[in-house]
Structure 1
Amino acid sequence: MSRRLRFVSLTPDQQRILNEAYQYGEKRALRRRAHAILLNHKGHTINQIRDIIGVRRDTVSTWLSQWEAEGIEGLQDKPREGRPHLLSESDLAVLEQLVEKYPHQLPVLHAKFQEQTGNVVSQDTLRRALKKRL
């Protein structure tokens, strides 16, 4: 099965923008994506770009589509939610009250916290929450 060749055509301004992103982009992912678009503009096929950059063919194709749809913004990483917090605001309020009663006693604080909230977390999680909060 032969695949249709796909190439982007860039204006001088677009080439300048992509060159800047490739050379000075803050994140490696943006630099790689910009490089892929520039290579495609210079006549490299998706398979050649895949081999040069070391990603899957579908990835290169997605980058080309994102560039065509959104320009440089399409090549930027999108914000992500991340893992939800293990401790709610009410859990943190309980933790602060317990710290006042049991300062410098993490094992006791840990046991009392789990007893009062029913939330089973590690001592390290409590330590990190306290460092962040206090």
Structure 2
Amino acid sequence: MTFRFVPSLSDTDLQTLMATYTYGVKPALRRRAHAIVLSHQGHTIDQICKILSVTRETVSLWFDAWEAQGLDGLRDKPRAGRPAIYSDAERERLLELVQEQPHQLKAVQARLQQETGKGACTMTLKRALKKSGV
């Protein structure tokens, strides 16, 4: 079995990884940064697997991503989600209706459903409003 380690890190890279591991917002990114730091400290892939409770393949993929793209390679890639219920024009109409009746979200919901033929719960409307900055 061959042992694989991340190539030696520069002081800047090590500081960046330590800051990401310690203060990063995303748990997945913190975990990946931790794996790179552990490798730099001399831990084998098997040891890293046990510490982080992941497979060898996962750690190898993280190493490959680090070597190819640095910290950006460790970040999650954008993923497609569910398509938006309302088009941009319909969201604009939602904003207009809310301005007309700011404290009547149920009434806005009913009117928007009547106009567009699309039903959505009040939480969906609240998310759309938040996304629009309201």
TM-score past 0.5 threshold = yes
User: How many residue pairs end up in the alignment?
Assistant: 129
Find the partner of 2:14 among 19, 33, 39. Answer: 19
| Structure 2 unaligned regions, length at least 5 | none
Query: Equivalent residue for 1:48?
Result: 47
The 3 A distance-change label for structure 1 pair 126 and 35 is: closer
| Structure 1 unaligned regions, length at least 5 | none
1:4 pairs with 2:2? yes
Q: Distance in 1 between matches of 2:122 and 2:56?
A: 45
Residue 40 of structure 1: how far off its partner (Å):
2.4
| Residues 22 and 30, structure 1, Cα contact 8 Å, conserved in 2 | no
**Residue identity in the other structure for 2:14:** N
- 1:52-63 paired onto structure 2 within 5 Å: 52-63=51-62
Residue 62 of structure 1: how far off its partner (Å):
0.6
Residue 101 of structure 1: how far off its partner (Å):
4.9
After alignment, is 50-59 or 31-40 more displaced? Answer: 31-40
Structure with max Cα Rg: 1
**Residue identity in the other structure for 2:17:** Y
Residue 77 of structure 1: how far off its partner (Å):
4.0
Q: Give me the TM-score of the superposition, normalised by structure 2.
A: 0.72
Q: Give me the TM-score of the superposition, normalised by structure 1.
A: 0.72
RMSD of the TM alignment (CA)?
A: 2.8
The 3 A distance-change label for structure 1 pair 98 and 67 is: closer
